[in-house]
Amino acid sequence: MLKNIRQWEEIPFFPNPKEEAAYWLSHQLDPALMQSSLSRSEGQDSTSITLRMDPRMLSRLKRLAAQRYLNYQSMMKQWLAERLEKEIPGS
């Protein structure tokens, strides 16, 4: 039986494609995680914001996102969405 990955942070960094392939033979993304990443309401607007951040923190975020093959802004939005789900159940 495959182990479900419920959060993006559970996926490790893979030093090579062979190790990544071996990992995915025993793991799968949880359907809820996939749905939260793919779904977007029709007509949903985005608002740009300015966020001041320590340059070292931003650098670390970008490296982490690159290891996961993600855009760092998308990764941050996903983290915020996951945290909001924990803080405000049923939202």
User: Does any domain span residue 20?
Assistant: yes
Whether residue 29 sits in one domain with residue 62: no
Range of the domain at 20: 1-36
Structure tokens at 51: 């966020």
Does pTM top 0.75 for this prediction?
no
pLDDT at 7: 87
Tell me if 74 sits within 8 A of 62, measured CB to CB. no
pLDDT digits (tens, 9 = 90+) for 48-74: 889 999 999 999 999 999 988 888 999
Q: Which of 58, 68, 60, 63 is nearest to 13 (CA)?
A: 68
User: What separation, in Å, do the N-terminal and C-terminal C-alpha atoms of the chain show?
Assistant: 32
Give the helix ranges, DSSP H, for 51-91.
55-67, 72-87
User: Does any domain span residue 41?
Assistant: no
For the chain, residues with pLDDT lower than 50 are none
User: Does any domain span residue 66?
Assistant: yes
